[in-house]
Amino acid sequence: MSLQTITSRIRKAEKKAGRAEGSTKLIAVSKVQPNERVEAVLAEGHRVFGENRVQEAAGKWPDFRAKFEGVELHLIGPLQTNKARQAIEMFQAIHSVDRPKLATTLARLAQETGHCPDLFLQVNTGQEPQKSGVLPEDADKFVADCLALDLPVLGLMCIPPADEEPSLHFALLAKIAARNGLNGLSMGMSGDFESAIALGATHVRVGSAIFGARAYGAA
């Protein structure tokens, strides 16, 4: 599929849900993709990209940024505290704030540098042991604690379990966000972004549907 196809599917899903055109931001997830494919999407004019590793992003984005203006980078994968400083310098948004210790570290760095990317707090809606994020029952407190730290919390993020109906998880995330007064919802990937938009996604993270299958598994 192409960037254009995905964009028009997003616009259709917005319309069907009675939402404003352009109310969903498309994050093109470029992790592991060959540089030629990423450059082709940049050349088409797209500027919002997602990476799941700080190291990988640091290796390729400085060159792309030298060549294309206005790139906006979103970190969507787990962040170690010792890479937080590098992350806040490189990314305009972090979708994977998944534990109190990382929140505290980001708050300290924000104080020190006077700058912090937009943040999404990750909720482990499927309560999967191998997945990052706070449990749904701990989410309200985590939101409150992050806001008390003066962090710029835009919203919540989830990655539904692979073998479950994703819309149940999108609905749960939307409900937790609403009761906490948060508008941002980072949810929906290649296989399910339309149902995420129907349930209020403001940010969809789409990789393989734009770039093609990843050569080796980093999903």
Ligand X SMILES: *Cc1c(COP(=O)(O)O)cnc(C)c1O
Binding site for ligand X (CB under 6 A): 29, 31, 52, 76-77, 159, 189-190, 205-209, 219
- Helix 136-148 and helix 100-113, axial crossing angle in degrees, nearest 10: 20
Nearer to ligand X, 79 or 174 (CB): 79
- Closest contact distance (angstroms) between CB of 7 and ligand X is 14
CB 7 within 8 Å of CB 21? no
Minimal CB distance residue for ligand X:
207
Q: What is the identity of the amino acid at 49?
A: F
Say how many CA atoms lie within 13 Å of 167 toward its Cβ. Answer: 5
Nearer to ligand X, 201 or 209 (CB): 209
Nearest CA to 86 among 61, 58, 107?
Answer: 58
- Closest contact distance (angstroms) between CB of 62 and ligand X is 22
- Closest contact distance (angstroms) between CB of 108 and ligand X is 25
Nearest CA to 157 among 198, 207, 202, 117?
Answer: 202
- Closest contact distance (angstroms) between CB of 165 and ligand X is 16
- Closest contact distance (angstroms) between CB of 43 and ligand X is 20
Q: Which two structure tokens, joined as six digits, stand for 74?
A: 């979103």
Q: What is the identity of the amino acid at 150?
A: D
Nearer to ligand X, 31 or 46 (CB): 31
Residues 6+ apart with CB under 8 A from 130: none
Nearer to ligand X, 24 or 52 (CB): 52
CB 134 within 8 Å of CB 98? yes
Q: What is the identity of the amino acid at 87?
A: A
Nearer to ligand X, 95 or 139 (CB): 95
